Structures are given as C-alpha cells and as structure tokens.
Amino acid sequence: MNMIERFTAARMLMCDHLHPPDPYNEIVEPQLRETGFYYVSQIGVIKGQSAMINALIERWRPETHTFHFPVGECAVTLEDVALILGLPTNGLPVTDKSGTAVHWKFLPLLRNFGGIIQFSWGSAYLAHLYRSLCRATRVDCKEMDGPLTLLVSWAWIRLPFLAPIPGNPGVFPIANRWHNWDRQNYPYRYKTLAHYRRLLDDLQEGQAYGIGYIDPDVIPLAIRHNSVIWSATVPLISFECIEWHATDRVRRQFGLTQGVPAQGQDLGASHVDKSI
C-alpha cells in the first residue's frame, strides 16, 4: 500500500454537489447579460463523481495550489473558469468595507445593478474552489463542498480519459458538454476510487493537455478578450478568502515553456483557519 492509499484508506469524502434551480424566465436575459452572469446561468445539471473527486483531492497540494501528477503539475486556472463557466475574470476584486455578516457579504456589491459586471466574479469563484480543495486535504475533513461543477468539468476537459462521455465541442459554456451525462453512461457513477487512482498513476505525457484546441468561434468575444490575464500569477480575492493563482507552475497549460517556478506564497493564518 503506497503513501496515498495509507492516507485515505479509512476515509472517503462526501461531496456536497448542489444542483442549479429550474431555468429562469427568458425575460431576464438582458439583465443577466448586463451583469456578466448570462453564460453561467445557462449551465444545467452537471452531476459529479465522488470517487474521481477524492482521487483528485489526494493529489492536491495546498502549498502550491496545484495537482501533482506523474507528468508534472496541473491546476484549475482563470482560463478554465472563463471557458468552463463563462464568468467574468477581469475586474475589481470581490470585496467590501461594510463589515456585513458573512452570509450577507455579497449583497452590498449587488446594490448598484449596473456595476455588478465590474467585479471579477470568476476570480472569487476560483478562490473558493482552491479553499475547498485545501480544506479537503485535512485528515479530519469528512466532506467537500464548494464549486464542484468547475472541478469535475475541469477534470473531464483537461484529463479527457476521465470523462464519462465525449463532450460536444460546439457547446459553450464548456460545462454543458456534460449536461445529464448519466443518461448516456449510468454505470460511470459506480467507478471506484481505486479505478481513478490507477488512471492517474498511469498518466502519460500527452494525455493531459490544455484547452486551446477549442474552436475560437465557440468562445464569445466578451469572454475571449480577457484571455491576456488568464495566465497572470496573482492573488484571487473573495472577501476574507484569499488564494494564490500559481500559474508560474503550470505554464504548459498555456502553451508556454515551463521554467523554475517561484517559491509558494505564504497566505498566513487565514489559509488554514477552519472558520473561513
């Protein structure tokens, strides 16, 4: 039994994967486009696979914010958020000085309806995924929640040998490529943790790749014109949740040459605070 198997032999995290509500009334489409939430509002039910998520968590390193695979490091980046979900990734950090209670914290940012689009909601979303993954690596963690639609869709596009069905390349946001995948491959939900561990252990060069092969015409201009910042090495901010976007460690995902990355950023006590 190797180190990963010893660490997780006695635990299997439950994955709290929320499903979206019923479709909205089309009368609100102009407002959704104005706020930058139109594309993400189009994403239907994307069911997860708990065993696959657990296999990924085993390879997540909180100190680098990357997955460690036999062929190198890989991470969910702002590029993935933009293409998988269609969320805005350029703009002001999602924060506020009002000191409001945590469960009301987003409301002050929504008072000015016309100003909602000025915030980088994609960065905030990614920060919470990183935080959820870091929490899930703790030995006392029994459940993972957070943006699991992004995580499972990322795995299926970056590591296509893990996907339940071939994705429709003409669909945007990319997450919708796997809308109701269980209707076509119901047995996939019963794949085991050992199955995914074996697939990741056997990962070869060329099996994991970027998502630059997507037809540019599929990506809306409003999303594509922010691509210049997707590879930026910057902090991701959502109120008290601050995580590091360590793209200097995953340059190959952007078609670049991988150099020696900088030392991991020390994010302080908040990064390990269980209350955040």
Q: What is the mean pLDDT of residues 252-261?
A: 84
Residue percentage of the chain with pLDDT more than 90: 41
Containing 244, the helix (H) or strand (E) segment is: strand 241-245
pTM: 0.85
Longest dimension (CA), the chain: 57
DSSP-derived secondary structure letter, 92? B
pLDDT tens-digit readout, 53-86: 999 999 999 999 999 999 889 999 999 999 999 9
Per-residue model confidence (pLDDT) at position 267: 64
* Residue-level pLDDT at 143: 84
Predicted confidence (pLDDT) per residue in 112-137, tens digit: 767 788 889 999 999 999 999 999 99
d(C-alpha 256, C-alpha 241), whole Å:
29
Residue of 182 and 23 predicted with greater confidence: 182
pLDDT of residue 269: 59
Please give the structure tokens belonging to residue 178. Answer: 């796997």
Q: Which is higher by pLDDT, 171 or 146?
A: 171
Identify the top-confidence range among 45-59, 84-98, 261-275.
45-59
Q: Are 144 and 135 in contact (CB under 8 A)?
A: yes
Q: Do β-strands 14-15 and 143-144 pair in parallel, antiparallel, or remain unpaired?
A: parallel
Q: What pLDDT digit, counting tens, does each position of 214-238 carry?
A: 677 889 998 988 888 999 999 999 8
Angle between helices 148-158 and 78-85 (to 10 degrees): 100
CA distance 141 to 133: 11
